[in-house]
Chains A and B, each alone.
Chain A
Amino acid sequence: MALLDVCGISDWVKEDTFSSQKASVDRVNHFNFAALEPELAVPIGVDPAEFLKPFTDCEDGVEGVTIKLKHGTTTLAFKFQHGVMVAVDSRASAGSYVDTQLFKKVIEINPYLLGTMSGSAADCVYWERLLAKECRIYKLRNKERISVSAASKLLANMVANYRGMGLSMGTMICGWDKKGPGLYYVDDNGLRLSGNMFSTGSGNSYAYGVMDSGYRYDLTVPEAYDLAQRAIFHATHRDAYSGGTVNMYHMQETGWIKVSQEDVGELYHRFAAEKK
């Protein structure tokens, strides 16, 4: 209110008292793309990273009292002449305990946008669902679908507010928009990279090895499916924290299609048979 401003009270009155009415009237929330308004309340005077240290799995941690965040994955995506290939495993592990072999690590934001998840499952699921909500709102407000670069930028901005607070998220945003196929890597530090090939998670080095040795831009569609599947399979074979099934998506001009969902055990036997 103008009177409050004149009296100089708004300087020290906190936002969560009655003057929050001023805040919601003045703040143009529907133009900030979820960047300015923090979604999670952080207690004042507490550094979340320091607070969590004794309870998480690190050197300063207290013996026997650790929260083992769900970690461990292999995901990959690469661009080629017929669009973007996305392949992920489906194991969710907590330390050495396998929570489930059927975890969905690809979130289908809209028929032209996909997001992959690696790192802490809780963080990924939460932030990517929030991203999906922002994408839907963007489409309603602007009457056209959000671009891949804008969607990845929104996610990067959202998590950059919580930098250093212990988020763990490595994701790839893939889609097809007016500018053509798009592939961006976004992680919990707010890093955002555009590129032709990414692999994230604990098994990413194995996936990179297989992908790099077989990748060409002019792959045919069946060759690309085979390459993506093999890369994930070999990562699940050697990485303890990856496994379950290989979920594969193909992002085309007309939207994404789910190519296959195959158990790695069956893939093992198929590839072994090929060798003979």
Chain B
Amino acid sequence: HDSCSFILKVGIRGKDIVVLGVEKKSVAKLQEERTVRKICALDEHVCMAFAGLTADARIVINRARVECQSHRLTVEDPVTVEYITRYIATLKQRYTQSNGRRPFGISALIVGFDYDGTPRLYQTDPSGTYHAWKANAIGRSAKTVREFLEKNYTDEAIASDNDAIKLAIKALLEVVQSGGKNIELAVIRRNQPLKSKEIETLVAEIEKEKEEEAEKKKQKKSS
């Protein structure tokens, strides 16, 4: 029973940025943290976070990485996010319809930018279906987080890159214990490769904003 399904992952599609936020599970004292990778790059412009059996995910990610390069070789263009999502979904579906095999036990969030600059976010599930999303969550308490996103995902909320990142952090903070130590973020900006994001300062900003909101409410009540 893999621990990965208990980890919350949030994906947000901004205007010029896509954000993947992952809850950092506390590891055993002697365990090397570096070996627990939940956000994986499939190509320079596409990355994927998964919930489910890590071992199954490894196979899918490897096949997807090879397909990204094969596409570059055959067609001379980088894959579109939809193409690689379709490939992964087709791969998963084939394993639901052949004898002697079991389906892949993972759901994946695939984010990235297409060649023409459009940001994309897709989710796949073990049956092999895939859908495009503006913002989504998978893993532990995904339902709660999705409800939060439904209320708070507006055009103003993602107006700038930082706003989109803050929204992802706020969504994670709904469920995760507060503190930058428990959140791992990856962002892709148009024409830039995957980057891990500095959390501490942004989390501090969000905490400050929350305090200010609480203050305002108190003042309203008192007046």
Kindly specify which of B33-41, B86-94, B146-154, B199-207 makes contact with the partner chain. Answer: B86-94
Q: Is the pair A149, B77 in contact by a Cβ cutoff of 8 Å?
A: yes
Interface size on A, residues (CB 8 A): 19
Q: Report yes or no: B91 in contact with A33, Cβ–Cβ below 8 A.
A: no
The answer to whether B29 has its CB under 8 Å from any CB of chain A is: no
Q: Is the CB of A28 within 8 A of B91?
A: yes
Closest Cβ neighbor of A149 among chain B residues: B76
* A30 CA / B87 CA spacing, docked (Å): 9
- Interface size of B by CB at 8 A reads 18
A28–B90 Cα distance when bound, in Å, is: 8
Give the total number of A-B pairs whose CB atoms are below 8 A apart. Answer: 43
CB-CB < 8 A to A3: which residues of B? 100
- Which of A87-95, A99-107, A150-158, A229-237 touches B? A150-158
A40 within 8 A of B: no
Interface of chain A, main secondary structure = helix
Residues of B within 8 A of A26 (CB): 94
The docked-state distance in angstroms from the alpha carbon of A35 to that of B70 is 11
A142-B90 contact given A33-B75, A154-B74, A178-B116, CB 8 Å threshold: no
The distance in angstroms between the C-alpha atoms of A150 and B75, with both chains bound, is 4
Complex Cα gap A1–B95 (Å): 11
Chain B 76-108, CB-CB to A under 8 Å as 1, else 0, gives 110010110001001100100011110000000
Knowing A142-B80, A142-B83, A153-B76 are in contact, say whether A2-B100 is a contact too (CB < 8 A): yes
Q: Is residue A44 contacting chain B, with contact meaning CB distance below 8 A?
A: no
Which among A2, A30, A142, A150 is the interface contact of B76 at CB below 8 angstroms? A150
Residues on the A chain within 8 Å of B77, using CB: 147, 149-150
User: Are A35 and B74 interface neighbours, CB within 8 A?
Assistant: yes
